[in-house]
Amino acid sequence: MKKVCFLLLLLIGISHFIYGQSTPIPPKVIIGISIDGLNHNYLTFFKNELSTKGFKRLIQESTCLENVDYGYQSAGMAADIATLYTGAIPYVHGIAGNTLFNRNAAKSSSICLDATAHSFGLSPAYSAHRLQASTLTDQLDEASMGKSNIVSIAIDPTAATLQAGHTGLALWMDPETGRWNTSSYYQTALPSWAGKTADDYLANRWEPLGIPALYHAISTSKTKTFAYDLAQFCYGKNKYKQFATTPYANSMVADLAMQAIQNYGIGKDIWPDMLLLQFSLQPLYTQTSAPMSIELEDAYLRLDKELGAFLDFLDKHFGKDQVLVYLTGTRQTAYKQPNNPRIPSKSFCTYRYMALLNAYLMAHYGKHNWVLGAENGNIYLNRKLIEEQNKDLRQVQQTAINFLSTIPGIMNVSSSFQLNAAFIGAQQLRYAFHANSSGDILFSLLPGWYEVDKNDKPTGFYSPYNTTTCLYLWGWKMPATKVTDNIPATAFAPSMARFLRIAPPNAAQGDRLPIDLTE
């Protein structure tokens, strides 16, 4: 045992000598924080209400990359998480959206649903089995020979699994029981320290954290305050899904994160560890016609408080110089209709237009069901029928494109063949596209247009054309500075790998982040 320890120390010393002039000793712990629905403008808007220990501290003391560019239109949380951790775009890593369309059943399910694994709760099993590239976490696990502790925690199973990658421990809330859950893809049993449940939070009463009259949202809100007894607000069959729309779901994530640090050996040996967390500022209660609600503003303030307590916790356990925290947000937030009716904003009913598209294709190719389904800008044609009828798929796609190009609200339309050719030619796509999971035809909507279902209820799909987001890196050797240049999101994973002195993910395409580390 002494010889093994001596050899390990010798190898570490050699690596420090080799890499000493390029990168300093790696951080003891890396904490990744993703906030679903984070609007960075709101952090400026609420700056007088935020504490000095949460968002403000992190922003003021961090390296802020103001324009991290994904290079493709937002296709949901899953595609962006996969891109960030693999250093590749959806065409390469395989995750082109939050869902996967089953052509045989003509319906969609979560992209991370895994029928080959079993769940430790009542909900189905999830994993990153469809992610076809290694991630930053996978590379750390390989480099440490499985010694690094890697934990991913989120209410949403898609976020938890894609953050964890193919290794480590992914934990998410079971929507059927309110308990923490994982799958056999990651572990043989649920860890004993993940025992706290949503029921432990339902005794709380959610009301404004601050003085309601001082909230910015008071001018646009329909009410002057609010108060919800969670036990009454969260009830019935969907009680835990309703719980996930409250700030106390973020508290549940933060509490488990601290339990993981205390009970899972994070930061207690020579191997760097990773703890990946996802919080949410995009719950159901924000999806109203008002640009902002008091509840949403209060959710920001409560998450700010949680972050402040968590940063203090990290200070006490590791010290700022031993931990590297990065924080970013998902790009696509809930669509908000503008107050001024002159600002372009119109609804687009995909359901009705797909019926018209099918009728158009019937007129050309015969009375059959040529369109299987459509969602999130993807249209799935009946490939089996097309083959049985001896039709050329490219020709059918082009006929459909000719029709779709005339529909009000549609800005761009492309076929799967065109997107394949575009990637081969330029290695860059404006769509989050993958040949095995995307539709036969992809379209984007004009600015201000948003999709509604057959009952005219917004589905959440629209086409935000800003492909950038903001990324903060705090602690360890990070200087307090701002970088305004456009930085490809694919540069994140290989740069973090460099900080950790490990190999980058096997599909990583990006360059290094332009950060001069402090001594």
pLDDT in tens, 36-50: 989 888 898 888 899
User: How many whole angstroms separate alpha carbon 23 and alpha carbon 321?
Assistant: 14
Instruction: Give 59-80 as a 3 state SS string.
Output: HHCCEEEEEEECCCCCCCHHHH
Same domain, 242 and 385: no
Does residue 433 sit within a domain? yes
Taking phi over 0 as left and psi of -120 to 50 as alpha, with beta for the rest, 366 belongs to: left
Same domain, 325 and 225: yes
pLDDT of 21 > 80? The answer is: no
Does residue 204 sit within a domain? yes
Q: Taking Cα atoms as reference points, which of 342, 243, 256, 349 lies closest to residue 306?
A: 256
User: How many whole angstroms separate alpha carbon 251 and alpha carbon 215?
Assistant: 22
pLDDT of 157 > 50? The answer is: yes
Same domain, 53 and 79: yes
pLDDT of 15 > 60? The answer is: no
Same domain, 271 and 373: no
User: Considering only 190-194, 303-307, 484-488, 511-515, which range has the smallest mean pLDDT?
Assistant: 511-515
**How high is the pLDDT of residue 76?**
87
pLDDT of 285 > 60? The answer is: no
**How high is the pLDDT of residue 338?**
81
Does residue 511 sit within a domain? no
Average pLDDT of the chain is 90
pLDDT of 291 > 70? The answer is: no
Q: Looking at residue 98, which CATH number applies to its domain? A: 3.40.720.10
Same domain, 455 and 473: no
Structure tokens at 366: 């015969």
Percent above pLDDT 70 for the chain: 93
CA 319 to chain centroid, in Å, comes to: 28
pLDDT digits (tens, 9 = 90+) for 466-509: 789 999 999 999 999 999 999 999 999 999 999 999 999 999 98
pTM of the model: 0.91
User: Considering only 119-123, 290-294, 385-389, 450-454, which range has the smallest mean pLDDT?
Assistant: 290-294
Does residue 483 sit within a domain? yes
Is the C-alpha dihedral spanning 165, 171, 172, 174 positive or negative? Answer: positive
Percent above pLDDT 90 for the chain: 76
Same domain, 324 and 256: yes
**How high is the pLDDT of residue 330?**
84
User: How many whole angstroms separate alpha carbon 340 and alpha carbon 429?
Assistant: 34
Does residue 272 sit within a domain? yes
Q: Looking at residue 364, which CATH number applies to its domain? A: 3.30.1360.150
pLDDT of 436 > 60? The answer is: yes
87 against 344, higher pLDDT: 87
- How many distinct structural domains can be found in the chain? 2
Same domain, 441 and 360: yes
Same domain, 191 and 320: yes
Q: At 460, is the pLDDT very low, low, confident or very high (cuts 50, 70, 90)? A: confident
Same domain, 299 and 364: no
Does residue 516 sit within a domain? no
Q: Taking Cα atoms as reference points, which of 315, 310, 326 lies closest to residue 515?
A: 326
Q: Taking Cα atoms as reference points, which of 122, 177, 96 lies closest to residue 416?
A: 96
**Average confidence (pLDDT) over 269-295:** 78
pLDDT digits (tens, 9 = 90+) for 343-365: 889 999 999 999 999 999 999 99
Q: Taking Cα atoms as reference points, which of 144, 188, 185, 181 lies closest to residue 167?
A: 185
User: How many whole angstroms separate alpha carbon 507 and alpha carbon 95?
Assistant: 13
- Is 240 in contact with 177 (CB distance < 8 Å)? yes
**How high is the pLDDT of residue 51?**
94
- Is 33 in contact with 327 (CB distance < 8 Å)? yes
Same domain, 14 and 118: yes
Does residue 55 sit within a domain? yes
User: How many whole angstroms separate alpha carbon 185 and alpha carbon 76?
Assistant: 24
Buried b (16+ CB within 10 A) or exposed e, 100-121: bbeeeeeebebbbbbeebebbb
pLDDT digits (tens, 9 = 90+) for 54-84: 999 999 999 999 999 999 988 889 999 999 9
**How high is the pLDDT of residue 40?**
87
Question: Could you please report the per-residue DSSP string of 201-234?
Answer: GTT-EE--SS-GGG-GGGGT-SSS---EEHHHHS
463 against 362, higher pLDDT: 362
Q: At 154, is the pLDDT very low, low, confident or very high (cuts 50, 70, 90)? A: very high
- Is 414 in contact with 441 (CB distance < 8 Å)? yes
**How high is the pLDDT of residue 341?**
84
Q: At 19, is the pLDDT very low, low, confident or very high (cuts 50, 70, 90)? A: very low
**How high is the pLDDT of residue 510?**
75
Q: Taking Cα atoms as reference points, which of 71, 59, 148, 158 lies closest to residue 110?
A: 158
Q: What are the backbone dihedrals phi and psi of residue 135, each rounded to the nearest 5 degrees, phi first?
A: -115, 175
**Average confidence (pLDDT) over 216-233:** 85
**How high is the pLDDT of residue 41?**
87
Does residue 38 sit within a domain? yes
Same domain, 357 and 285: no
Same domain, 47 and 19: yes
pLDDT of 292 > 80? The answer is: no
* Gyration radius (Cα) of the chain, Å: 24
Supply the range of the domain harboring residue 493.
2-332+467-500
**How high is the pLDDT of residue 1?**
53
